Amino acid sequence: ILGVKDIHADHAASHIGKAQGIVTCLRATPYHSTRQKVFLPMDICMLHGVSQEDFIRGKQEKNVRDVIYDIASQAHIHLEHVR
């Protein structure tokens, strides 16, 4: 947008965008769950034994929190790449 032509700036912007997308998805999870939709990666959910139904019912057990933590950790990794 600002006319910056730098490969490092492009790389940083890419990671920032990925982190923002992950955080937006996590923040929207309660909203989507009330509408019977879950947009979280099912491979991570299955790793922790969590189903879409667990999110839709609003369960807050440790395994559900672990899913959220793992996904949020991916956003954190992208921010670390930017730094």
Q: Which residues of the chain fall short of a pLDDT of 50? A: none
Q: What is the pTM of this model?
A: 0.84
Quick one: pLDDT at residue 1? 62
Quick one: pLDDT at residue 66? 97
Quick one: pLDDT at residue 35? 96
Give the angle 76-53-28 at the CA atoms, nearest 5°. 40
Q: 80, 75, 67, 77: which is closest to 39 by C-alpha?
A: 67
Quick one: pLDDT at residue 80? 93
Domain boundaries, the chain: 7-81
Structure tokens at 82: 């930017």
